[in-house]
């Protein structure tokens, strides 16, 4: 089944260019020129992925994500011409799965598109249930529960938690985690792991400032605490 990608950017030339390359890859492309239009298109088209420019008129990318994340768990790749790390961090904290800084290579963006869609469409395996301490992760149902409470995660957060829970007590480097969750699209964006870990802790830890489940391994990366 053909996957639909919503491209949101106020630059028509960029939208046209992305449409050409994405359609060559076999995707169906729909467009919007601002965040307000994007909300209407997303509600009607129900895309599999949104490629979203952050700086737009009428309704910017951040505001779009705040509203859209309440309606759907569709993965989002941010496009940003700004280079401040705080911009990238805020976007990831609002639920984006990845980001690309303008100017970008088409090859790199397409690799990220494939990686994010792959994470969001992991085939169901009903027997693949991980339980460590009070945390249960069901790959088949794409469900995470902590002490019986269901926790909503983005596709990237889900795959990151699954990687950590697959080997409790094992220390994973950031590069290990990127390769497990992003495959051929990581291209050195190791700091995205830190933001996703912070988001995970906020969602699953009783006290995120003193993590009980996801431990920092100083000088290396992270591990899921063994029971």
Arithmetic mean of pLDDT over the chain: 85
Tell me 99's DSSP state: E
Q: What is the CATH number of domain 129-224?
A: 1.10.10.10
Q: What is the pLDDT of residues 207-225, one digit of tens each?
A: 999 999 999 999 889 999 9
Q: Where are the domains of the chain?
A: 4-120, 129-224
pLDDT score at 159: 86
Report yes or no: 9 and 33 within 8 Å, Cβ to Cβ.
yes
- What is the share, in percent, of the chain residues with pLDDT greater than 70? 89
Q: How far from each other are the two terminal CA atoms of the chain, in whole angstroms?
A: 41
Average pLDDT score over residue span 110-137: 79
DSSP H/E element including 43 = helix 35-45
Average pLDDT over residues 160-177: 90
Ramachandran category for residue 75: left, alpha or beta (phi over 0 → left; psi -120 to 50 → alpha): beta
Confidence (pLDDT) at 85: 57
% of the chain beyond a pLDDT of 90: 42
| Residue 195 DSSP symbol | H
CATH of domain 4-120: 3.40.50.2300
Residue 27 has pLDDT above 90, yes or no: yes
Give residue-wise pLDDT tens across range 173-206.
988 888 777 654 445 456 778 888 998 999 999 9
Q: Write down the pTM of the prediction.
A: 0.64
* pLDDT exceeds cutoff 50 at 168: yes
Cα 6 from Cα 157, distance rounded (Å): 21
Nearest to 156 by CA among 187, 192, 190: 192
């Amino acid at each position: 089944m053909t996957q639909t990608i919503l491209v949101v950017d106020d630059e028509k030339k960029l939208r046209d260019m992305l449409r050409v390359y994405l359609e060559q890859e076999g995707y169906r492309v729909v467009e919007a020129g601002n965040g307000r239009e994007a909300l209407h298109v997303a509600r009607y088209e129900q895309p599999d992925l949104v490629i979203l420019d952050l700086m737009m008129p009428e309704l910017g990318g951040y505001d779009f994500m705040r509203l859209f994340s309440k309606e759907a768990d569709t993965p989002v790749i941010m496009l940003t011409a700004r280079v401040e790390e705080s911009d990238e961090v805020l976007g990831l904290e609002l639920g984006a799965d990845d980001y690309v800084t303008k100017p970008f290579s088409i090859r790199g963006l397409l690799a990220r598109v494939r990686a994010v869609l792959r994470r969001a469409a992991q085939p169901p395996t009903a027997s693949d249930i991980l339980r460590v301490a009070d945390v249960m992760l069901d790959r088949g149902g794409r469900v995470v529960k902590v002490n019986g409470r269901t926790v909503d995660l983005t596709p990237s957060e889900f795959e990151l938690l699954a990687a950590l829970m697959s080997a409790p007590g094992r220390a994973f480097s950031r590069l290990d985690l990127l390769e497990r969750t992003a495959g051929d699209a990581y291209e050195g964006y190791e700091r995205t792991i830190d933001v996703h870990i912070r988001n995970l802790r906020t969602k699953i830890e009783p006290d995120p400032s003193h993590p009980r489940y996801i431990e920092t391994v100083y000088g290396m990366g992270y591990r899921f605490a063994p029971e």
